[in-house]
Each structure stands twice: as structure tokens, then as C-alpha cells.
Chain A
Amino acid sequence: MATITLDNVHKKFGDTEVIHGVSIEIAEGEFIVIVGPSGCGKSTLLRMVAGLETVTAGEVRIAGARVNETEPMDRDIAMVFQNYALYPHMSVFDNMAYGLKIARVPQPEIRDRVAAAAEMLQLEAFLNRKPRELSGGQRQRVAMGRAIVRKPKAFLFDEPLSNLDAKLRVQMRLEIKDLQKELGITSLYVTHDQVEAMTLADRMIVMNEGVAEQVGRPLDVYSNPGTEFVAGFIGSPATNFLSAEAVGESGRGAAKLGIRPEHARLCKPESGFVRGRMTYAEALGAETLLHLRLPDGALFTLRQDGGGSIPHEGDDCGIIWEERNQLLFLPDGGRL
């Protein structure tokens, strides 16, 4: 268990800078999720914490000590890779024990620690198998086990669930959360899936093009996005953006207005803030998603409870929302 600090961390590959200065203080035992679109630098950031990439500028500290020049093995961290990276010629037991063997942990203790991890992960029956004789979910567990037995200061996960099918992903997500709670080990978790981010994180870092756009608790980030990018990236279906002019909100310099699908309601065409023509509806049972075509051609998504009445295709509707729910953004994407 330890704190992790990133202090204005930069990363350059050759001449192109891909991380433009990220800072965060991670408390002991905290579960931090780094989320963002593909190519925004999530993996690079994580790998700098792991020591697999050099840090171009800034400082990485683990438990208060600068580790910029420290080899991964000496940082006392464990990493779970996207493709598990299990040693194909070793049994499950040997895979989990390898790091301990190198650290010269005595044999009986290795056996105990592997047995404990195997029990926690329900892997006891597979200890003598080779990785290729396991299913994807089991391999994932072995990779987790390999991280657990080391009793590291921190866990680093790089999209550990992206190779699993949807159902298994949900299950493993819960298991990871439970495990982390139980062990209380500081964790950094990279994903591009915002549902994973929302459900797992104590706090999350929303990244965009090498910049941490916002750091905060998932619900805070959701309800109070700091930038236009965060408002658009977090939340599904995505936030609707209207030009501030069209709704008469350009007063204080706002360029865009964002409104989440669940905050908008339908009304008579005359009394809405904007008008839309009903294009199609997705009735999902508990909820219904209505897609309306605005006069400027953009689509507007509106979410209502499953029971509500659904307008006919082609009907003109008004869209209305409560003013406190609207998010105003400046021309540079910042929040007003």
C-alpha cells in the first residue's frame, strides 16, 4: 500500500509529445481509473508509472520516493496486461510463483501465498494447467493472481477486461472491485470503457490528447463536467450539444450548451427551447430513447421512462429542460 504521485509528467516519443503534463495525488488504497478515447495516452501514462517507459519531464513518486530512474522490479508494483502476458510454457502455479522465485522468497511461503491467491480467485483446480488450457476468464484470473501474490505497493491494470465477452466483463469487473477493496492496494486502472470507469473508480482521470481534462469522483464528473470533452465523453447516450445562439444563451460568452438526454423533456412545439422532428425511437423497456432532428440538421437524443407516450415519426415536438441542468461551454471547450 502506498501513495502514488504524478507531478507534471510529460512524455515525448522522438519529437512528438504525447503526454502534456499530468498531475495527480493518489491516496493509499485508492482505486483510480484512467479513461479516455483510443490514443489519448492512457497506456503511456500507466507504463511510466510502471517503469516500462521513461519519463521525459516531471516526476513520478511511489510512497513519496522519486522513482523516475528506478527499474520496474524495484518499484514494487504489479501489472496486469491486456493480453494477460502469461508465460506459455509454465503452469498456472509457476506463472504466479515466478516473481516470488526471483525475489528469493522461501519455497514454503511461495506455496502458501500462491495457494491463498488461488483460493481467492477460484483457481485451485487449475494450478497444474498451462495457460493455453484455460478459458479467457481463467487466464484473466491467473494474471490477477500473479499480481496479488507479490503483495505489491500498487496494482496497475491496462485494459484487463477488453478481451472478454460482455457478460464475463461485468462479472470480472465486480471481482476486481471486491478484491481491491479486500486487499486495499492502491490501484491504477486504464480503460476506454466509461461504464467500467464509472463503476470501478473511487476517482477517475478523464484524459484527452495527453491532457488530464478532469479528475474527480465518477458522479461528480458526470454531473459536473469541467469541459465540453468530458461532458461528451462520459455518459451514454452522450450529451446533446446545441449552439448557444440558437437557444438564446450566448449572453455571457457561451458558445455551446450541453444537455444530458435524461434532463430533457418533450413539450408542445411552441413552448420548447428548441424544436425537433421525431425521427426514430428506441424502446428499451425500462426507458425509451427518442431521437429528434433539430432545424439545423443535428440529432438530439432524449431519454424518457418506458411508460411515457412516444410521438409518431415526423411529428414536430418542442424540447424543454430545467435551466439548472444545462451546461454552458466557452468557445475553447472550457466550462462557463
Chain B
Amino acid sequence: MSGMVEKRGLSYWMIHAGMILGVLLIFFPIWLAFVASTVSQADIVKPPMPLWPGDQFFENYRRALFSGVNAPVAVMLLNSAVMAIGIAVGKIIISLLSAFAIVYFRFPCRQLVFWLIFLTLMLPVEVRIVPTYEVVARFGMLNSYSGLIFPLIASATATFLFRQFFMTIPDELAEAARVDGSRPMRFFVDILLPMSRTNIAALFVILFIYGWNQYLWPLLITTDPQMNTIVMGIKQMFPSGDDFADWPVIMATSLLAMIPPVFVVILMQKLFVRGLMESEK
């Protein structure tokens, strides 16, 4: 008996050691980026690469945040945040409403509408980018938040997920609300929304990161550096040809760009866990 415990103890530690090793391996590039963001340009270009942080931390990050290469990183972070939150919130609102309509209302061509929405899953941004650009340009939405957000806001995936979730809610609940005097929008706000809150939290994380990582679309429609988003900004910092690259500032920018998504994940993770623990029977 004790032998078994010992054996389990041993494999327990082995597994942990393995996992720690794995984490270190994955973490190593991030560590290198961090180190690069704390030393001077001269230290980086001179081999071997430094493995421990230097003394330029504040200097590099100050330069990145407030002057950057093309536009200050602070401005780009703000642009990205507005875009990512706009996309996530907009997608959630629209898909909640369309799922509500599809599941709870009997209107002509309901199935057709559902399949049309479903079909758009097969048309990612890149495929419809030229006509979308045309439309946005004609609406005069280039270099604006609305231009960044609106074309990306429709979401077949989220609509589909909410539809599946709404269909698991027993009909009796909607009927009880109807007998209680709840009109459709009231039922939506009072009953469906609170019941969907864990799904909403999960989708928010996914959609925020989706919005944050948009590259091609912002690149296409923002020409004004003041409207650049962080992800495209990083790419634009890379030198073309023989230009001089300010690697410490680029690395500092990259690390700054990681912070908001990580923050959102950690914040929402709490909601997830709580949602899971008090999930309905």
C-alpha cells in the first residue's frame, strides 16, 4: 500500500517537473523579449545576446509609450482597446439579439435567415475585404473608430452559440414568463440575459482577443498614425531595407501589447470559475 503511495508521489513530482520545464520553454522567448526591452540598442546588436535585464527599463518604456516609432504606444493601445471592446461588446449584443429572434419568434423565412447567418461563417474578413473597404470608404469611415469596429461586428459564431444555448432553456420558462406578464423584450432582459452571463463572459474573452489581434483590416483603413492599432503598429516599427531598428523600443511595445489581453483573460477567468461552480444542475 505504502509502495503505491510512494509511486504516486514520484510520478506526481515527475509530472510537475515536466510541466515546469514546459512552461519555462514556452516562457523563454518572452523572457528574451523582456530582457531586450531593458537594455540599450548597442547591447542587443553586440553578440552574445544578454540573458539578464539591463538598466534601460524606464527609459525604453517611456520612449515607447510616449513617442514610439510612428505613433506613441499609449495612443495605439487606446485605439486597440476601443476597437477590441467595441467589437466584443457589439458582437455580443448583436448575436444575442439575433439568436433571441431566431429561437423565440416565428417569422417568415426563419430557417432561411438562420442559414444565411450560418453561411457567413464561411466568409472571413479577408475574403470580403475589398467590397467591405469600398463600402466603408464611401461612408467616409476611413481612419475612424466606427470604420474599425462596424465591419467586424456581425458574428455568425456567437449567434450560433447563443442559439444553441437558448434552445436548451425549457419552453416552460418562456411560457411562465408570458403568464407572469413579461413581454418579449422584458423576458430577454430579465430572464435570458442573466441566464447567459457565463456564456457572455466566455465569449467576451474570445472576441476581445479576436478584436485585439486584428491586423489586416486596421492596416487597410487607417492611414493616420494617430488611428493605428497596436498590432499593426508593431509590424510597422520593423525597418524596411537598411533602416535602423530600435529593438528595445519594439520589444517594449510588444510586451505592452500583451498586457490588456492577459488582463482580460485573468479578469474574466474569475467570472468563469464562479459561473462553473454555481452552474445550474
Contact = CB atoms under 8 A, between A and B. Distances in A.
Interface stretch (A98-106, A210-218, A315-323): A98-106
Interface string A114-141: 0000000000000000001000000000
A83 interface: yes
Contacts of B43: none
Interface stretch (B45-53, B129-137, B186-194, B242-250): B186-194
A78 B182 contact: no
Interface string B168-186: 0010110111111110001
A298 interface: no
Contacts of B190: 98
A98 B177 CA distance: 9
Given A102-B181, A102-B182, A79 B281 contact: no
Query: Which among B176, B178, B280 has the greatest number of chain A C-beta atoms within 10 A?
Result: B176
B221 interface: no
B173 A85 contact: yes
B181 A88 contact: no
Given A88-B280, A132-B280, A103 B181 contact: yes
Question: Main SS of chain A's interface residues?
Answer: loop
B281 A132 contact: yes
Interface residues of A, number: 24
Contacts of B172: 81-83, 85
A73 B178 contact: yes
B237 interface: no
B179 A88 contact: no
Given A72-B179, A83-B170, A102 B186 contact: yes
Contact of A99 (B170, B173, B180): B180
B175 A98 contact: no
Interface of A: 50-52, 71-73, 77-79, 81-83, 85-89, 98-99, 102-103, 132, 146, 150
Interface of B: 170, 172-173, 175-182, 186, 190-191, 194-195, 280-281
